[in-house]
Chains A and B, each alone.
Chain A
Amino acid sequence: MMREIYIRPSWLVIVLILLTVILFAFDFSSEPLQYEDARNANQAAPEEAITVDLTQFTNAEENQKCFQCHGQSKYSYENTEQGRMVNERMYNELIISPNDFYISNHRTFKCTDCHSEEYESFPHAGYLRMEYKYTCLDCHEGDENYAHFYFEEIDAEFMASVHSEKHSDDFTCWMCHDPHIYKINARTNENIRETIIYDNTICLDCHSDYRRFQLLTERQRPNLIQSHDWLPNQELHIASVRCIECHTEKQTDSALVEHKVLPKELAVKNCKECHSSNPELLASLYKYEAQEVRSKNGFFRGITTSDSVVIGASRNQTLNIISLVLFAGVVLGIAFHTTLRILKK
């Protein structure tokens, strides 16, 4: 008699579990973002060598006069009173990394385009620190070349935000967007994770740094981990969405990034706002991506092809249709079979 060949199905399960274990072993390196770590992500390292090719910048030679002191954590000058060279530490707030500057939006500027030319002499005159500091609208208001950035709307949103209402005029655009190193991100960066870190760092710069926080308020800095305790999978949320997703009011379709930061009582606390078929995230984090691909591939393709998946929000239309057709087919098939069985009885 021929030996019978059997497949033992238990093996299937064992193979399946093994496969899962192997997959997991492959990638366990993606450490979730911590509030305190994120704060340091963008900070310029002092004494770094200039890696940008400066020959392409006509402003480089002129700016180098400033960077030789302000580009690093220490500077030296000749003390004429004592007749010797002196080394001094540069205050952290006054250090601008040339590497960051020359990739920023304002990289073609000379320092003296915005700052007084009198800074060219050293020591700088005391009254210079009172000089007026330009804000975004001083240069960008009503400029057609920048119309697609909606500076005026951003300003109006900002004026209605807690940042503007609760604080004095000291709270300017520069609190979040350092003009020396700011570079446009949400619409140029294809890596959503990087955009998330970049944007959250802006918030955490003050909200997780007591010294900066204290500059504007007498309040104790709230413990972010505690105040976000209610959030399930807190670490994953912090690494996957931006603070502004929940803490701003979603406005029109125009400006890419919302600037009307709401009081914390009005922040999104309802899971369904993101984890549903018409999620808020489409209106904010994936806004640019969604706008770009909406016309080409249909509305939801943008979110299904991105490297981020929102449980409950990501939809696959094709799969929906296939499953509906299959289900209808099964029900009809059963109905047909039943009818025949009754008729042929």
Chain B
Amino acid sequence: MSQERLYLYPIWLRFWHLVNAILCFILIVTGIILTINYLIFFIGNLFTFNGKQYQIEYRGLSSRLMKQARYYAFGIFTGENPPFPISKENKFNPLQRFSYVFIMYLFIPVVFITGFALLYPNTIPTIVLGTSGLHLTDLFHIISGFVISIFMVVHIYFCTIGKNPGANFKSIMNGYHEPL
């Protein structure tokens, strides 16, 4: 018995569907690559001098953070010098160090741990602390993802603050910092 062929998928729908599929696929693949890439960072920081840059000195932390924030809010417009000049031992200012540690050692790991859990949902405990484990995992995943995207926008903007707006972008390509 032959049935009439049904035209169910107009061209715009097929296009949208294909793009959607490709993007979802990219999200999954990039998530996996992000995890592997993180290992490079983690191991690198564990065994090289670079790890020192991510150690936060607890004493006087808040005053240093405030000092840097004040610079970005006011000093930068009046031509003040940055309060924490960049050196080989101190390549991050206090705000940078603080935010980098939270992103790289908290939010990124949360994203890939919850991401892999969502990729294999039957590994997620059904009930955690009286509420759905899947729901919690989902929430942690999107909140962390959101924080990371906000960080990315802010990070790229702050990179324009340098000798000239393009200087820091050049630095991360060739490895050399241009002094102010």
Contact in complex: A32, B122 (CB < 8 Å): yes
CB pair B122 A235 closer than 8 Å: yes
Mark each residue of chain B from 106 to 142: 1 if its CB lies under 8 Å from any CB of chain A, else 0: 1001100100001001110111100111110011001
Chain B: minimal CB distance from A40 (Å)? 22
CA distance A327 to B153 in the complex (A): 9
- Cβ–Cβ < 8 Å partners of A9 in chain B: 54-56, 101, 104-105
> What are the residues of chain A within 8 A of B146 when measuring CB–CB?
323, 326
CB of B61 to closest CB in A, whole Å:
9
Return chain B residues, CB-CB under 8 Å to A12: 101, 105-106, 109
Instruction: Check A330/B76 contact, CB under 8 A, given A6-B56, A314-B135.
Output: no
Q: Is the CB of A17 within 8 A of B109?
A: yes
User: Do residues A341 and B138 form an inter-chain contact, with CB atoms below 8 A?
Assistant: no
Decide if A330 touches B57 in the complex (CB within 8 Å). Answer: no
Q: Are A331 and B56 in contact (CB under 8 A)?
A: no
- When C-beta atoms are compared, the residue in chain A nearest to B160 turns out to be A338
B46 beta carbon closer than 8 Å to chain A: yes
In the complex, whether A148 has a CB less than 8 A from a CB of chain B is no
A80 to B116 alpha-carbon distance, docked (Å): 72
- Asked whether, in the complex, the Cβ of B76 is within 8 Å of the Cβ of A319, the reply is no
B132's partner among A28, A235, A309 (CB-CB below 8 A) is A309
Nearest Cβ on chain B to A211's Cβ, whole angstroms = 30
- Are the C-beta atoms of A16 and B106 separated by less than 8 Å? yes
Give CA–CA (A323, B139) in the complex, Å: 12
Q: Which of A13, A24, A304, A314 has the most CB of B within 10 A?
A: A13
B37-70 with Cβ < 8 A to chain A: 42, 45-46, 51, 54-59
B105 to A5, Cβ gap below 8 A? no
Highest count of chain B CB atoms <10 Å: which of A6, A28, A32, A308: A6
Closest to B143 in A: A319
Min CB gap A83→B, angstroms = 61
* Contact among A2, A17, A28 for B125, CB-based, below 8 A: A28
For residue B12, which residues in chain A have a CB less than 8 angstroms away from its CB? none
Q: Does B78 contact A (CB under 8 A)?
A: yes
Separation of A319 and B136 alpha carbons in the complex (Å): 13
Residues from chain B with Cβ under 8 Å of A27 in the complex: 125-128, 133
Give chain A residues whose Cβ lies under 8 Å from the Cβ of B118: 311
Contact B55 A344 (CB under 8 A): no
Contacts of A236 in B (CB 8 A): 121-122
A297-345 residues at the B interface, CB under 8 angstroms: 304, 306-309, 311, 314, 316, 319, 323, 326-327, 330-331, 334, 337-338, 340-341, 344
Q: How far is the CA of A341 from the CA of B72 in the complex (A)?
A: 10
Cβ of B104: which chain A residues have Cβ within 8 Å of it? 9
Of A6, A340, A344, which contacts B57 at CB under 8 A?
A6
Q: Is B150 an interface residue (CB 8 A)?
A: yes
A308 contact from B72, B113, B128, B132, Cβ within 8 A: B132
Point out the residue from A235, A304, A314, A330 that lies within 8 Å of B150, measured CB to CB.
A330
Interface band, chain A: 35 or more
Say yes or no for A23: interface residue by CB 8 A criterion.
yes
Question: Does the CB pair B132–A307 fall under 8 Å?
Answer: yes
Docked-complex contact A311 and B134, CB < 8 angstroms = yes
Tell me if B154 is interfacial: C-beta within 8 Å of chain A. yes
Give the distance to chain A from B102, nearest Cβ to Cβ, in Å: 9
B110: chain A residues at CB < 8 Å are 16
* CB-defined contacts of A4 to chain B, threshold 8 Å: 57, 59
Q: Contacts of B153 on A, CB cut-off 8 Å?
A: 330-331, 334
Whether the Cβ atoms of A341 and B76 lie closer than 8 Å is: yes
Give the distance to chain A from B143, nearest Cβ to Cβ, in Å.
7
Q: Mask for A230-247, Cβ within 8 A of B = 1, else 0?
A: 000101100000000000
Residues of B at the A interface (CB closer than 8 Å) are: 42, 45-46, 51, 54-59, 72, 76-78, 101, 104-106, 109-110, 113, 118, 121-123, 125-128, 131-135, 138-139, 142-143, 146, 150, 153-154, 157, 160-161
* Across the A-B interface, the 5 shortest Cβ-Cβ residue pairs: A27-B125, A9-B105, A6-B55, A344-B77, A309-B135
Q: List 13 A-B contacts (CB under 8 A).
A: A5-B59, A9-B56, A9-B104, A10-B46, A12-B109, A16-B109, A16-B110, A20-B113, A28-B125, A236-B122, A309-B135, A311-B134, A319-B142
Q: With contacts A16-B106, A23-B125, A344-B77 known, what are 10 further pairs, Cβ within 8 A? A: A6-B55, A6-B56, A6-B58, A233-B122, A236-B121, A308-B134, A311-B138, A331-B153, A334-B153, A337-B157
